C-alpha cells in the first residue's frame, strides 16, 4: 500500500498519524494491536505505508505458491519453512523459523498480532518476544486507537532478558488503547 493511498484512507476516515517516534525501522518485530476487527489491517497498513515502514508478515511457505502467491507477496507476506533440512533433524518451532528469517538480512520488519485472533484473549502469545530476543532486534509497539482515531508506533522495547519486566512495560503501553470493538481487547493479564 503506497503512502498516497494511506494518506487518502486516513483523510476519508478522519484518522491522524502519530509519527513522533524517530527510528530507522529496518530490523524489528512490530506489534500491531489492538486486533479486534478486519479494519485493523487496512488502517495499520496505511499507517505503516505513510511512515515508510516496509512491513512483512509471516505465512506458511505454501501460501506463496500459485494461486495465492502473487497477492500474498504484494501484501508483504514472507514464507517460513519449518521443515527439517536433514533427515532425522527436528522440525523448527515457528519462533526458531522466524529468528532464522532475520539471519543475513539487513532489513526486516515483521508484523505480529500477539492476541492471535480478533476474539477476546486475556493471554497473549509471547513468541514475538522470543523472536526479538533471539534475533537481537527491538520490539516496536504499533497501535491503532479507534477512540481517538490515532495510529502509529508509540514506543520501542529492547528485550532485556527479563521477560516479566519487559512484558509489563508492553502491557502498560497498550492498556489505555481502545480497539474498534473495545470489548474484544485485553492486554495479557499475567503482566498487569
Average pLDDT over residues 26-30: 95
Q: What's the first-to-final CA gap in the chain, in angstroms?
A: 35
For a pLDDT cut of 90, what percent of the chain falls above it?
70
C-alpha cell at 74: 504484494
Q: Where are the alpha helices (DSSP H) in the chain?
A: 3-13, 39-50, 69-75, 94-102, 127-135, 163-174
Confidence of residue 2 (pLDDT cuts 50, 70, 90): confident
Number of H-type helices and E-type strands within the chain:
6, 7
- Locate 190 and state its grid cell: 499475567
> Hey, what long-range contacts does 17-20 have (CB within 8 A, 24 or more apart)?
17/47, 17/50, 17/51, 17/150, 17/151, 17/152, 18/150, 18/151, 18/152, 18/153, 18/154, 19/50, 19/51, 19/152, 19/153, 20/152
The residues spanned by each domain of the chain are: 3-191
Higher per-residue pLDDT: 50 or 70: 50
**In this predicted structure, what is the pLDDT of residue 183?**
94
Identify the band that residue 40 occupies on the pLDDT scale cut at 50, 70 and 90: very high
Q: Is residue 29 scored above 90 in pLDDT?
A: yes
Measured in degrees and rounded to the nearest 5, phi and psi for residue 18 equal -95, 100
Please report the pLDDT score of residue 176 as a whole number.
Answer: 97
More confident residue, 72 or 113: 113
Which tops the pLDDT comparison, 105 or 1? 105
Mean pLDDT (the chain, rounded): 91
pLDDT score, position 1? 56
DSSP β-bridge partners for residue 144: 151
Residues listed for the chain: 192
Amino acid at each position: 500500500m503506497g503512502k498516497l493511498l494511506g494518506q487518502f484512507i486516513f483523510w476519508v476516515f478522519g484518522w491522524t498519524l502519530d509519527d513522533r517516534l524517530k527510528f530507522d525501522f529496518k530490523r524489528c518485530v512490530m506489534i500491531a494491536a489492538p486486533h479486534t476487527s478486519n479494519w485493523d489491517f487496512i488502517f495499520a497498513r496505511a499507517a505503516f505505508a505513510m511512515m515508510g515502514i516496509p512491513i512483512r508478515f509471516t505465512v506458511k511457505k505454501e501460501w506463496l505458491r500459485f494461486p495465492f502467491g502473487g497477492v500474498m507477496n504484494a501484501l508483504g507476506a514472507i514464507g517460513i519453512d519449518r521443515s527439517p533440512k536433514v533427515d532425522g533433524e527436528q522440525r523448527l518451532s515457528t519462533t526458531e523459523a522466524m529468528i532464522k528469517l532475520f539471519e543475513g538480512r539487513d532489513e526486516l520488519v515483521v508484523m505480529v498480532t500477539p492476541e492471535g485472533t480478533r476474539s477476546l484473549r486475556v493471554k497473549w502469545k509471547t513468541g514475538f518476544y522470543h523472536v526479538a530476543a533471539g534475533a537481537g532486534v527491538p520490539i516496536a509497539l504499533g497501535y491503532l486507537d479507534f477512540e481517538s482515531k490515532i495510529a502509529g508506533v508509540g514506543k520501542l522495547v529492547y528485550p532485556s532478558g527479563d521477560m516479566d519486566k519487559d512484558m509489563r512495560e508492553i502491557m502498560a503501553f497498550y492498556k489505555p488503547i481502545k480497539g474498534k470493538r473495545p470489548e474484544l481487547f485485553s492486554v495479557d493479564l499475567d503482566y498487569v
